[in-house]
Amino acid sequence: MGILEKIAEIEREISRTQKNKATEYHLGLLKAKLAKYRAQLLEPSKSAGAKGEGFDVMKSGDARVALIGFPSVGKSTFLSLMTSTASEAASYEFTTLTCIPGVIEYKGANIQLLDLPGIIEGAAQGKGRGRQVIAVARTADVVIMMLDATKGDVQRELLEKELESVGIRLNRLKPNIYFKPKKGGGLSYNSTVPLTHCSEKLVQLILHEYSILHSTSVRRGCIFLTFQSFLHGTCKYVYNKVDQISIEEVDRLARRPNSAVISCGMKLNLDYLLETLWEYLALICIYTKKRGERPDFNDAIIMRRGASVEHVCHRIHRTLVGQFKYALVWGTSTKYSPQRVGLTHIMEHEDVIQVVKK
């Protein structure tokens, strides 16, 4: 029996099983098996086959953004507009047959943009190279779901269903769970909140399903699905071709959460999309300064929001932390400028730092 048949059998058993306290353990185990099989769908096949063109590309730049959507929604046109890479665009479907990378240069950062082939309904089961497309989307920091504004919400619902079926939960907070495997000592479980939807026994059964016999788990939230290999990603819904719909429909789509409206044909609202993409990626620019000289505003260090002085030192040189004495920081993260800080000081966007060594 193949993986697809096993998934269908488990889904049928879940649908015909009554949900009550007597069956909660059984349903939990079924969901754990279902999540494991769905994750195996995206794993490359171990059997030898004909060698073909590679699909994934090496991760580069400061962040990675993946374009995902149905055929002929404007992904290749968007890549050509935002980067110097020319991706073939035509009026027929499936113009793009492999992953085409490009680089967006914005505020000193290099953001890798991936133009993925259009997926179709049933992509999670492997139709139309859907498994490869979704597997690449899992490696991205942000997923741009390109949608055709003329087709309403049908495409959005279908794509969300396909991604959720392989364990990608978009724009949802990750459950606050700490998990650490051990070499021995059995399973140790603690919870800081009341147990309402699961119990310690159910968590142990789920971990046993993944052959995890020794671990320490601390749960601070009410959802236990994190144990079932879910990836929590950030998604931006982008409605293209808004020049072909009414202004009332444009206003309705623009007011939806995590959504933006653009027109690649008329180059409308692309600057707003870039700005919101920067916020989604949570990137900040840090400028360096030598003693007695002006700051270098032409070469910024790109970091993630929440980065400390120690992270900046590691980015400059791996041995700088060992020689670190203190740092002078100018910017919004300080009470006064310059402020003498240590390694734990949190940097903010467009701060200037001068590192003093021992």
Give the pLDDT mean for 324-347: 92
* Residue with more model confidence, 63 or 176: 63
User: Is residue 168 scored above 70 in pLDDT?
Assistant: no
pLDDT of residue 224: 40
Q: For residue range 202-232, what is the model confidence (pLDDT) as tens digits?
A: 777 777 766 666 665 655 554 444 444 444 4
When the pLDDT of each residue in the chain is averaged and rounded to a whole number, the result is: 78
pLDDT band with cut points at 50, 70 and 90 for residue 354: very high
- Per-residue HEC secondary structure of the chain comes to CCHHHHHHHHHHHHHHCCCCCCCHHHHHHHHHHHHHHHHHHCCCCCCCCCCCCCCCCCCCCCEEEEEEECCCCCHHHHHHHHCCCCCCCCCCCCCCCCCEEEEEEECCEEEEEEECCCCCCCHHHCHHHHHHHHHHHHCCCEEEEEEEHHHCCHHHHHHHHHHHHCCEEECCCCCCEEEEECCCCCEEEEECCCCCCCCHHHHHHHHHHCCCCCEEEEECCCCCHHHHCCEEEEEEEEEECHHHCCHHHHHHHHCCCCEEECECCCCECHHHHHHHHHHHHCEEEEEECCCCCCCCCCCCEEEECCCEHHHHHHHHCCCCCCCEEEEEEECCCCCCCCEEECCCCECCCCEEEEEEEC
Which of 118-132, 224-238, 307-321 has the weakest average pLDDT? 224-238
pLDDT of residue 146: 87
The single-letter code of the amino acid at 300 is A
User: Is residue 353 scored above 90 in pLDDT?
Assistant: yes
User: Rounded to an integer, what distance in angstroms lies between the CA atom of residue 85 and that of residue 88?
Assistant: 10
pLDDT > 70 fraction of the chain, expressed in percent and rounded: 73
pLDDT of residue 52: 46
User: Is residue 251 scored above 70 in pLDDT?
Assistant: yes
User: Is residue 38 scored above 80 in pLDDT?
Assistant: no
Give the pLDDT mean for 242-260: 89
Nearest to 220 by CA among 179, 186, 187, 178: 178
CATH code of the domain made up of 63-85+98-171+230-281: 3.40.50.300
Q: For residue range 74-91, what is the model confidence (pLDDT) as tens digits?
A: 888 888 888 887 766 655
pLDDT band with cut points at 50, 70 and 90 for residue 326: very high
Give the pLDDT mean for 5-23: 80
Q: Is the dihedral of CA 135, 139, 145, 146 positive or negative?
A: negative
8 Å CB contact between 277 and 236: yes
pLDDT band with cut points at 50, 70 and 90 for residue 126: low
User: Is residue 54 scored above 60 in pLDDT?
Assistant: no
Give the pLDDT mean for 262-291: 90
pLDDT of residue 333: 92
Structure tokens given for 312: 């900046």
Q: Is the pTM of this model over 0.85?
A: no
Q: Position of tokens 């021992």?
A: 358
* Residue with more model confidence, 117 or 178: 117
Highest mean pLDDT among 16-30, 161-175, 210-224, 259-273: 259-273
3.40.1160.10, 1.10.10.10, 2.40.50.100, 3.10.20.30: CATH of 283-357:
3.10.20.30
User: Is residue 267 scored above 50 in pLDDT?
Assistant: yes
Domain ranges of the chain: 63-85+98-171+230-281, 176-224, 283-357
Topology agreement, domain 63-85+98-171+230-281 and domain 283-357: no
pLDDT band with cut points at 50, 70 and 90 for residue 328: very high
8 Å CB contact between 340 and 351: no
pLDDT of residue 125: 54
8 Å CB contact between 202 and 30: no
